[in-house]
A and B are shown apart, each in its own frame.
Chain A
Amino acid sequence: MKVTIKSWNGVATWRWLANDDTCGICRLAFDGCCPDCRIPGDECPLVWGQCSHCFHIHCIMKWLNSQQVSQQCPMCRQEWKFRE
């Protein structure tokens, strides 16, 4: 008797690799999306700052645009730089 694999369909789900469960700005889950979007996923991605904090991209852009003086991370007040 011998068993060999002919084909395999693997199933996986993806989640954001964030250090927190919720976005520090909108307080909604990273697994969901920001308040302005309807469907989570590629259209509402997360971004990381060099300070290692992460947010929905829509949330942090809104925040940065509202800051007139300097661009700071809302969590740690360090200067906000996108992590490449």
Chain B
Amino acid sequence: MDKGQSTFEDQWPSMRPIILKLLQQEPVTQNEWHEIFYSVHVVCLWDERGPPKVKDALKDDIMDFIKRAQQRVLSHQEDQALLKAYIAEWRKFFTQCDYLPTPFRQLETSLAGKTISSVNKKPQNEESIVRKLMLDSWNQSIFNDIKQRLQDSAMKLVHAERNGEAFDSQLVIGVRESYVNLCSNTEDKLQIYRENFERAYIEATESFYKVKAPQYLQANGVQNYMRYADSKLREEELRAQKYLEPCSGSVQVLTECCVNVLVSAFRITILSECAEMIKNYETEKLQLMFKLMDRVPGGIALMLKDLEDHIINAGLADMVASADVITQDSEKYVERLLSLFNQFSALVRLAFNDDPRFLTARDKAYKQVVNDTTVFRLELPTKQCGGVKSQPESKCPELLANYCDMLLRKTPLSKRLTSDQIESKLKDVLLVLKYVQNKDVFMRFHKAHLTRRLILDTSADSEKEENMVEWLREVGMPADYVNKLARMFQDIKVSEDLNQQFKEEYRTSKDSINIKILNAGAWARGSERVTVSLPLELEDYIPEVEDFYKKKHSGRKLQWYHHMSNGTITFSNDVGRFDVDVTTFQMAVLFAWNQRPADKISYENLRLATELPDPELRRTLWSLVAFPKLKRQVVLFAPEVQSPKDFNENTVFWINQEFALVKNGKTQKRGKINLIGRLQLSTERSKEEDNESIVQLRILRVQEAIIKILKMRKRINNAQLQSELIDILKNMFLPSKKMIKEQIEWLIEHKYMRRDEDDINTFIYMA
């Protein structure tokens, strides 16, 4: 090759026409295309100063082309036409940005002072110099000159669209694309787009709604406005997805701006209608409000507050309104509570999609309803003298336990329901129980009811009974309590086997005798012993059982619980014969007349005959002279008194010779009647101590838990101790601050722990 033909000056005249053709997107032959590669190669190879010259010449031509394009674009005055022309020019130019640089690859390596061999290694995506040259030139000339007009035109179109006019969305998209592609800053490719297009778009959106939103609110009210805001938010999000660069974060920025201008700005006004909507269960509107407010930071806090207030107010109002019924009837009470719960839960589900924050608010408020003491309360006495009134507690746990009993015992209620219904109602009880603070009261009553059912054999379904124990375990009742319940069932089964063996061994007429031998630890409530003079045939029989048991289990002794034992007697008189279920105490009293059926016996003589303690005898007699369900009582007495307390030693009692069952006004000659009523599990004296023992047990539990924590932590500050304490005890009861404080003082006094000398709020364990 002749060196004289290889300089820039030699080659450029033949290159230039082809380059111009390329710029103008005119057809180029394959030869011409090859030619250009060749020429660039020659110049780069032979002309040392060639490459910069090529670049400059190229730049001039590109500039020239762009200038002409600009003229063409600016010849349009109307916005749409301008945009259309610009986009057409830009698209053409941008396409050429991909083609034109190709022949100049070698130029680029030469300019960079690299060897040819490295050309292929060059990553494809790296911006080529020629491409950069093209884009920069476009940016500097045409774009900078008409950028504002372009942007304004694009925004005008968007504005028109917001007002409902249709147009070719490609126009706006095209402008955006040119903004994005023009940027040659490799650090931040979106710089030009963000600083111009995005900002303009967001500002336009904001100012649009700053005007529109208040107008709409003013004219249509909050509820319509919420619908408006919601639809606009959705609309703007879709629009942003169309017009703003994807994956650039623009959509989020725009959405945030829309939320600010559409929702946050009117937060107070919108929220002011929340309470009323909750009250009226307007779930659709609430759902809308929730959707809007959830986008505002801290927006739903007030809604949560409104929900809580509503649940507490509506719940308590409902309780107070039906106080007459529910204080009398635990079934009605529990059903009332449950229907309230379902009502609130439905509200949370329908209006707030069971959002966890609203569920928590519901739980918090419902807990307050359940544990409220306005309608009825359980008075727990405190041992401390000096008139310190204890805090009254809700009677809810007691009523829940009663309701459980009605479901598990053979009652009209449990007979009416199917097994599945009973099961679901028991589950309901457990659900409410979750919200009860003083669960220890429930446990106490539930255990008492279970004891009665097992002793009197009145369970409706023993399988369900045992399921219930497991469910109680599942809801987190303390293990030692649940274990005791399980132990009770076990004792009953063991006793059945024992009776079987006993009957085989003493094959006499003892068929009618049944013994339940219980584990004192699991069943007992106080170990007091009640004396009673049993009917002779029973009295003889006691030692036989004791002998038998001693042979079975050495090292054990039996203690009879006659206040729990019971039986059936046949009561015959001139009218007829009746089977009467009685307690052993009632039995003892009735047997006093067996030898002298017509006598009138004084209270004092009955006491001598039965050997019953005074309070038990009074109570037993009262159950025989004034049994609520009977029209004719078994025993009559004189003089008339109003309560068992008023019997004196000269009150006389006699058997009602006319006793009979009366059904539908007709006297029956045969029949069965149960005089046991609610089996007393404790004596009169210990019953008074019952509520006190709840408090006593709580004190012990608090002490125990404090020591447990201190043993583990060695030292702990007051606040932490309190919270760990509540955590340990929450499945039993909620200890009052006062009780905790008193027990801490007691433990310090008794040298289980001490206060830190430097910090009185820190406690230290003393071994």
Instruction: Look across to chain B and name the residue whose beta carbon is closest to the beta carbon of A54.
Output: B555
Q: Is the interface of A mostly helix, strand, loop or mixed?
A: strand
The answer to whether B561 touches A13 (Cβ under 8 A) is yes
Does A46 lie at the interface of the complex (its beta carbon under 8 Å from any beta carbon of B)? yes
Stretch at the interface among B298-306, B373-381, B441-449, B571-579: B571-579
The answer to whether B591 touches A3 (Cβ under 8 A) is yes
Q: Knowing A7-B567, A11-B516 touch, does A1 contact B556 (C-beta < 8 A)?
A: no
Does B517 lie at the interface of the complex (its beta carbon under 8 Å from any beta carbon of A)? yes
Interface residues of B in 542-561 (CB under 8 A from A): 542, 545, 549, 553, 555-561
> Which of A4, A9, A13 has a CB less than 8 Å from the CB of B569?
A4
Give the size range of A's interface with the partner: 20 to 34
Does B593 lie at the interface of the complex (its beta carbon under 8 Å from any beta carbon of A)? yes
Rounded to whole angstroms, the CA-CA distance of A4 and B514 in the bound complex is: 16
Stretch at the interface among A32-40, A62-70, A73-81: A32-40
The answer to whether A38 touches B515 (Cβ under 8 A) is no
Interface residues of B in 638-691 (CB under 8 A from A): 655, 657
Chain A contact residues, CB within 8 Å of chain B:
1-18, 31-32, 38-41, 45-46, 48, 54
The answer to whether B553 touches A3 (Cβ under 8 A) is no
Instruction: Look across to chain A and name the residue whose beta carbon is closest to the beta carbon of B593.
Output: A1
The answer to whether A11 touches B572 (Cβ under 8 A) is no
The answer to whether B567 touches A8 (Cβ under 8 A) is yes
Q: How far is the CB of A73 from chain B (nearest CB, A)?
A: 17
Does B112 lie at the interface of the complex (its beta carbon under 8 Å from any beta carbon of A)? no
Chain B contact residues, CB within 8 Å of chain A:
455-457, 479-480, 483-484, 486-487, 490, 512-524, 535, 537-538, 542, 545, 549, 553, 555-562, 564-573, 579, 584, 587, 590-591, 593-594, 597-598, 655, 657
Q: How far is the CB of A53 from chain B (nearest CB, A)?
A: 13
The answer to whether B591 touches A14 (Cβ under 8 A) is no
The answer to whether B561 touches A14 (Cβ under 8 A) is no
> Which of B480, B515, B522, B535 has a CB less than 8 Å from the CB of A5?
B535
4 nearest A-B pairs in the assembled complex, by CB-CB distance: A8-B567, A1-B597, A7-B512, A13-B520
Across-interface contacts of A5 in B (CB, < 8 A): 512, 535, 537-538, 567-570, 587
The answer to whether B512 touches A14 (Cβ under 8 A) is no
> Which of B486, B545, B562, B590 has a CB less than 8 Å from the CB of A3?
B590
Most B CB contacts (10 A, CB to CB) among A7, A18, A31 go to A7
Across-interface contacts of B487 in A (CB, < 8 A): 39, 41
Across-interface contacts of A10 in B (CB, < 8 A): 513-516, 538, 542, 545, 560, 562, 565, 584
Across-interface contacts of A45 in B (CB, < 8 A): 555
Instruction: Look across to chain A and name the residue whose beta carbon is closest to the beta carbon of B490.
Output: A41
The answer to whether A1 touches B567 (Cβ under 8 A) is no
Rounded to whole angstroms, the CA-CA distance of A11 and B487 in the bound complex is: 16
The answer to whether B517 touches A12 (Cβ under 8 A) is yes
Across-interface contacts of A17 in B (CB, < 8 A): 555-557
Q: What are 6 inter-chain pairs, A to B, with CB distance below 8 A?
A: A8-B513, A8-B568, A11-B515, A11-B562, A13-B523, A14-B517
Across-interface contacts of B590 in A (CB, < 8 A): 3
The answer to whether B517 touches A9 (Cβ under 8 A) is no
The answer to whether B513 touches A13 (Cβ under 8 A) is no
Q: How far is the CB of B222 from chain A (nearest CB, A)?
A: 61
The answer to whether A40 touches B521 (Cβ under 8 A) is yes
Q: How far is the CB of B360 from chain A (nearest CB, A)?
A: 35
The answer to whether A11 touches B560 (Cβ under 8 A) is yes
Rounded to whole angstroms, the CA-CA distance of A7 and B487 in the bound complex is: 26
Q: How far is the CB of A34 from chain B (nearest CB, A)?
A: 13
Across-interface contacts of A12 in B (CB, < 8 A): 515-518, 545, 558-561
The answer to whether B565 touches A8 (Cβ under 8 A) is yes
Rounded to whole angstroms, the CA-CA distance of A32 and B629 in the bound complex is: 42
The answer to whether B570 touches A13 (Cβ under 8 A) is no
The answer to whether A8 touches B516 (Cβ under 8 A) is no
Q: How far is the CB of B14 from chain A (nearest CB, A)?
A: 102
The answer to whether B570 touches A4 (Cβ under 8 A) is yes
Q: How far is the CB of B518 from chain A (nearest CB, A)?
A: 5
Q: How far is the CB of A6 from chain B (nearest CB, A)?
A: 4
Most B CB contacts (10 A, CB to CB) among A4, A5, A7, A12 go to A12
Instruction: Look across to chain B and name the residue whose beta carbon is closest to the beta carbon of A4.
Output: B570
Rounded to whole angstroms, the CA-CA distance of A55 and B397 in the bound complex is: 40
Rounded to whole angstroms, the CA-CA distance of A45 and B519 in the bound complex is: 12
Q: How far is the CB of A39 from chain B (nearest CB, A)?
A: 5
Across-interface contacts of B573 in A (CB, < 8 A): 1-2
Rounded to whole angstroms, the CA-CA distance of A18 and B567 in the bound complex is: 32
Across-interface contacts of A38 in B (CB, < 8 A): 479-480, 483
Q: How far is the CB of A59 from chain B (nearest CB, A)?
A: 15
Most B CB contacts (10 A, CB to CB) among A15, A17, A31 go to A15
> Which of A1, A8, A9, A40 has a CB less than 8 Å from the CB of B519?
A40
Across-interface contacts of B561 in A (CB, < 8 A): 11-13
Most B CB contacts (10 A, CB to CB) among A5, A13, A54 go to A13
The answer to whether B572 touches A1 (Cβ under 8 A) is yes
Rounded to whole angstroms, the CA-CA distance of A32 and B598 in the bound complex is: 51
Instruction: Look across to chain B and name the residue whose beta carbon is closest to the beta carbon of A29.
Output: B521
Rounded to whole angstroms, the CA-CA distance of A41 and B556 in the bound complex is: 11
Q: Knowing A3-B593, A6-B570, A7-B512 touch, does A14 contact B565 (C-beta < 8 A)?
A: no
Rounded to whole angstroms, the CA-CA distance of A16 and B535 in the bound complex is: 28
The answer to whether B568 touches A11 (Cβ under 8 A) is no
Across-interface contacts of B513 in A (CB, < 8 A): 7-8, 10
Rounded to whole angstroms, the CA-CA distance of A39 and B28 in the bound complex is: 99
Q: How far is the CB of A36 from chain B (nearest CB, A)?
A: 15
Most B CB contacts (10 A, CB to CB) among A14, A41, A46, A54 go to A14
Q: How far is the CB of A12 from chain B (nearest CB, A)?
A: 4
> Which of A3, A9, A31 has a CB less than 8 Å from the CB of B520?
A31
Across-interface contacts of A41 in B (CB, < 8 A): 487, 490, 519, 521-522
Across-interface contacts of A9 in B (CB, < 8 A): 455-457, 514-516, 565-567
Across-interface contacts of B562 in A (CB, < 8 A): 10-11
Across-interface contacts of A7 in B (CB, < 8 A): 512-514, 567-568
The answer to whether B657 touches A1 (Cβ under 8 A) is yes
Across-interface contacts of A11 in B (CB, < 8 A): 455, 515-516, 518, 560-562, 564-565
Q: Knowing A4-B569, A38-B483 touch, does A14 contact B521 (C-beta < 8 A)?
A: no
Across-interface contacts of A1 in B (CB, < 8 A): 571-573, 593, 597-598, 655, 657
Extra contacts besides A6-B579, A16-B557, A45-B555 (6): CB < 8 Å: A8-B513, A9-B565, A10-B513, A12-B516, A12-B545, A13-B523
Most A CB contacts (10 A, CB to CB) among B565, B590, B655 go to B565
Rounded to whole angstroms, the CA-CA distance of A45 and B537 in the bound complex is: 33
The answer to whether A2 touches B597 (Cβ under 8 A) is yes
The answer to whether B594 touches A2 (Cβ under 8 A) is yes
The answer to whether B555 touches A3 (Cβ under 8 A) is no
Q: How far is the CB of A26 from chain B (nearest CB, A)?
A: 15
The answer to whether A6 touches B567 (Cβ under 8 A) is yes
Rounded to whole angstroms, the CA-CA distance of A40 and B486 in the bound complex is: 12
The answer to whether A14 touches B558 (Cβ under 8 A) is yes
Q: Knowing A7-B568, A8-B538, A8-B567 touch, does A14 contact B593 (C-beta < 8 A)?
A: no
Rounded to whole angstroms, the CA-CA distance of A10 and B542 in the bound complex is: 9
Q: How far is the CB of B686 from chain A (nearest CB, A)?
A: 15
Rounded to whole angstroms, the CA-CA distance of A46 and B455 in the bound complex is: 27
Q: Knowing A5-B587, A8-B512, A41-B487 touch, does A14 contact B569 (C-beta < 8 A)?
A: no
The answer to whether A6 touches B565 (Cβ under 8 A) is no
The answer to whether B518 touches A13 (Cβ under 8 A) is yes
The answer to whether A13 touches B519 (Cβ under 8 A) is yes
The answer to whether B558 touches A13 (Cβ under 8 A) is yes
Rounded to whole angstroms, the CA-CA distance of A39 and B480 in the bound complex is: 8
Across-interface contacts of A4 in B (CB, < 8 A): 569-570, 572
Rounded to whole angstroms, the CA-CA distance of A24 and B202 in the bound complex is: 84
Rounded to whole angstroms, the CA-CA distance of A3 and B659 in the bound complex is: 13
Q: How far is the CB of B530 from chain A (nearest CB, A)?
A: 12
